[in-house]
Amino acid sequence: MNHYVHYSRTDNCTNSFQDVFNLPYVNVKITKDGVTVEQKAQVVKEITETLQRVLGKKPEHIHIVIDEVEMENWGFAGKVMSKLRKRSP
């Protein structure tokens, strides 16, 4: 099973409470094709641990959102994934 993942992160906030809201936000986008709750939990755990270890962020300040995108809504190499997957062995 192949999963295509995109990560993005923001640490800056223009809010007047910047110190309170200065938190990492990670958005993980994957194709919707059978990822289990356990797998998602592992992704969240490992991203949290990485941000804690590398950036010194507190786990309670880290927000992670996993978006599952339908195959027909994900384009790659000029084709939608639903068409590319049909051609894959």
What is each CA distance from 47 to 13, 36, 88, in whole angstroms? 20, 17, 30
pTM: 0.70
Distance between CA atoms of 51 and 58, rounded to whole angstroms? 8
Instruction: Sketch out the chain's domains with CATH numbers.
Output: 6-87 (3.30.429.10)
Token pair belonging to 89: 């062995």
Taking only the tens place, the pLDDT of each residue in 47-84 is 999 999 999 999 999 999 999 999 999 998 899 888 88
Query: pLDDT-based confidence at 33, cuts 50/70/90?
Result: confident
Mark whether 24 is an active-site residue.
Answer: yes
Catalytic pick among 8, 13, 24, 60? 24
Is it the case that residue 29 has pLDDT exceeding 50?
A: yes
